[in-house]
Amino acid sequence: MPRHVVARVDEIPAGTCKIVTVRGREIGIFNVKDSFYGLINRCPHQGAPLCEGAIVSRLVSSLPGEYGLSRPGEMIRCPWHCWEFDITTGKSLCDPNSMQARMFNVEVEPGKDLVEGPFVAEAVEVSVEDRYVVVTM
């Protein structure tokens, strides 16, 4: 499968998302504590631009009245009906087994490797000094 250079790493600081288009498909590239994930920008519920939602934590509670934040910055909340999805797996919180957002394989590569190997660099200029986000699809 072709590999697509979609962004320079420093364009997507930790805790943010950049929406890119690969082969006509919108993908949200998330930087979660310097790990990168690619999620389709279409909510499996009714098709909202999922990756434009708020990046949130997972709220947990073992008992009513007890509140905890876990996995800060690892969830995305759909902008339409507020279903929450795990950025690292694509699984919804409400129905993790049957309601999932499609994930894409995302890797970070140094520019010096990319200038040699076969890849598709649509709107990205590659230089040997930088590091790049590469999507395989």
Residues at the site binding other proteins, with contacts judged by CB under 8 A:
56, 59-68, 77, 81-84, 93-95
Residue 31 CB-density burial (10 A; 0-12 exposed, 13-18 middle, 19+ buried): buried
Cβ-based nearer residue to ligand FES, 32 or 50: 50
Is residue 83 within the footprint of ligand FES (CB under 6 A)?
A: yes
* Contact of residue 98 among other proteins, ligand FES, none (CB under 5-8 Å per partner type): none
User: Which does residue 1 bind out of other proteins, ligand FES, none, counting CB within 5 to 8 angstroms by kind?
Assistant: none
Binding status of residue 77 toward ligand FES by CB under 6 A: no
Under 8 Å CB-to-CB from 112, ≥6 apart: which residues? 128
Site membership for ligand FES, residue 46 (CB under 6 A): yes
Find which of other proteins, ligand FES, none residue 122 binds, CB within 5 to 8 Å per kind: none
Residue closer to other proteins by CB (options 83, 119) is 83
Alpha-carbon gap, residue 14 to 73, rounded angstroms: 9
Interface with ligand FES by CB under 6 A: which residues? 43, 45-48, 78, 80-81, 83
